[in-house]
Structure 1
Amino acid sequence: MSADHSDNPDKPHPDSPLSGPPSDTSRPLAWLPFPADEIDGLPDGLEYAHWDGESDYPTDPARCAFYCLPYMKNKEGVRPLPAMKNLSVVQTLTAGIDHVQPAIAELPPGVRLCNARGVHDASTAELALTLILASLRGIPGFVRAQDAGQWKQGFRPALADKSVLIVGYGSIGSAIEDRLVPFECERVLRVARSPRTTERGPVHPIDDLSRLLPEADVVVLVTPLTPATRGLAGADFLARMKDGALLVNVARGPVVDTEALLAELETGRLRAALDVTDPEPLPAGHPLWHAPGVLITPHVGGPSSAFLPRAKRLLRDQLRRFAAGEPLSHIVTTTG
């Protein structure tokens, strides 16, 4: 909850340039969501301020040159951007940048927006595989039976001999395939915005989805959220999926048309495992909670023990490049 400054006139408002201590203005200033002394090897040529989304700013935001948004605090994270008049770099700790793009459009020209490509590959791929296995083998049903003290045996689908379609074959999609290899899938199909050939086989264009969807037992969504992917898994997409197929969404909730998915789930024709939903957070009483054949996790693909060391390595490398005037990694766009 934001602090109330009305009863303390001597306490600066968070938007005030006086809300942090005085500092050395001779060096470029970086705002980081972790204390600088917790990141080994940061370059000496920069000044550092720690801000993780609190009400008060650590310094005047207009002085900030390199800004790393706090993780999992989307609303708080974009709040200081309009005041960052001398910004050069915005670094997210997420692979997706949809939450920050509207604010980026208001920044001065030349600001580089970088994402956290690679930071979440292992963790998100682990969760995708967990959702696939848990859904196919009926783990939620076993947990409910355990709670009721019931012993319920029976045959359930295996991942072995299944066809898996990965929609959005970037670094996370590739990491998912890495983890599918030992499970003896019949084949893995790949789709991406940029078709290409990999050592494992072709990456098909998005236009091939209508042909590939009927061939897949499991469809994994791992695309970014863009105007082109919003509602991608709509009624037509879902209707093309094989009877009994499993839809796994570790991308963004709005990539799936929730009403269209609910219609398929209610008939029992499809199943779903969702780490993201639309709306999100999913409100109590929403029909997705109790739809048949659905497993829901609360957007936990990224936050795991794998996150912190990888995020710190990314920041150390980016700040070293920034201080040395070298090209940054993972530039998604530059404001114009």
Structure 2
Amino acid sequence: MSALPVVVAVVPEALFAEFFSADDAARLADAAARLGGSFVRVDALADAAPDEVRVVITSWGIGPFDAAVLARLPKLALVAHTGASVKAFATEELFDCGVLVTQAGAGMARSVAEVSLTFTLALLHRVPEMHNGLRAGGWYDAGVGAQHEILDAPIAVIGASRTGRAYLELVQALGARALLVDPTLDRAAASALGAELVTLDDALTRARIVAVHAPTLPETHHLIGRRELALMPDGAGLVNTARSWLVDENALIDEVRTGRLSAAIDVFDEEPFGAEHPLRSLPGVLLTPHRAAGTTEGRLRQGRIVADEIDDFAAGRPLAHAIDRAHLASMA
């Protein structure tokens, strides 16, 4: 009789192939064997033998591990998330049961930071206006406004998250002057990151590009609203690859519609949004469909982190990316 599954990946088949190389998938099977069972990928947790499951690998769309779910998983000891935020499923009951929780958000930081850098350069050089103007039949009459280099440009980074720090490294490598807004850091810590610690209002007033990388917390809802957008100088641009929660989308649309500001956005209040949404037609806007983290390398990095964590768990070693109850208050 084949061993019952003790490590279960509740991950769609196509997405599993994006996350896990053949070698890392084999590592999951090896870890399961060391835990006394087998590994299986399923579309739903009910498709496994829940009484024996010790490790569950999750992806986006997983439901909460509430009391009813946990009652069917008496041996559950670890939930390893292939994404970043665990708030959708990490319940109080999960932590009360002593289940370890880990995630692979570190694997996404470089991918998202590169898109943020791409957005930054595009806004500085007025690529959205020129691209949209040419598509509409124009040429130099597109009215693109002043173009700028990133060298010595004041760039504001709102939030020293993993992605925010990765973005900081990239813009600094190209010679930008980094302004950092993060209430959890002091000036020495910001300086160690190569940035000047400033208030939000100061950053918005001084920056040519404002890049948002803060977590989605109650106090960060519409952190950038009408008042804040009005502080940004004419010709400045806003980059958001974090969450739409952080920016008042309607206020941003109103500002961009006037031509005073430009924007590059990967995250939206409604996803997907309708064909008539104003963001689709505004000339100073660059849009991507919430795919900033979707690189081949980033996906495989996320899977590798999960495989590493499960390998360490099977060997009784500490986990490098563990999340405890206290982390939930300050993470996205």
For the superposition of Structure 1 and Structure 2, which TM-score range results when normalised by the shorter chain? Answer: 0.7 to 0.9
TM-score between the two structures when normalised by the length of structure 1: 0.78
After superposition, where does 1:1-336 map in structure 2 within 5 Å?
24-25=3-4, 28-31=6-9, 33=11, 34=16, 38-39=23-24, 40-42=26-28, 43=31, 44-46=33-35, 47-51=38-42, 54=43, 57-61=46-50, 63-70=52-59, 74-75=60-61, 77-78=62-63, 83-84=69-70, 85-86=73-74, 87-98=76-87, 100-101=88-89, 104-105=91-92, 107=94, 109=96, 110-144=98-132, 147=135, 151-152=139-140, 156-185=147-176, 187-196=177-186, 197=189, 198-201=191-194, 204=197, 208-334=199-325
In structure 2, C-alpha distance between the alignment counterparts of 1:283 and 1:265, rounded to whole Å: 19
Q: 1:199 to 1:236 in 2, by over 3 A?
A: same
Counterpart of 1:24 in structure 2: which amino acid?
A
Residue segments in structure 2 that go unaligned for 5+ positions in a row: none
| Greater helix proportion | 2
Cα deviation, residue 62, structure 1: 5.0
Asked whether the 8 Å contact 1:167–1:220 carries over to 2, the reply is yes
Cα deviation, residue 149, structure 1: 6.8
Asked whether the 8 Å contact 1:192–1:203 carries over to 2, the reply is no
Local SS of the residue matching 2:324: strand
Q: 1:292 to 1:139 in 2, by over 3 A?
A: closer
Identical pairs, percent? 30
Local SS of the residue matching 2:55: strand
Cα deviation, residue 105, structure 1: 4.2
Counterpart of 2:8 in structure 1: which amino acid?
A
Give deviations 1:148-189, integer Å, cap 9, x for gaps: 67654886232223100111112211211221134222x101
Cα deviation, residue 124, structure 1: 0.8
In structure 2, C-alpha distance between the alignment counterparts of 1:114 and 1:108, rounded to whole Å: 12
Counterpart of 2:185 in structure 1: which amino acid?
P
Root mean square deviation, CA, Å: 3.0
Cα deviation, residue 108, structure 1: 6.1
TM-score between the two structures when normalised by the length of structure 2: 0.79
In structure 1, C-alpha distance between the alignment counterparts of 2:242 and 2:152, rounded to whole Å: 25
Asked whether the 8 Å contact 1:165–1:213 carries over to 2, the reply is yes
How many equivalent residue pairs? 303
Q: 1:266 to 1:222 in 2, by over 3 A?
A: same
Higher relative contact order (CA closer than 8 Å, sequence separation 6+): 2
Cα deviation, residue 106, structure 1: 5.3
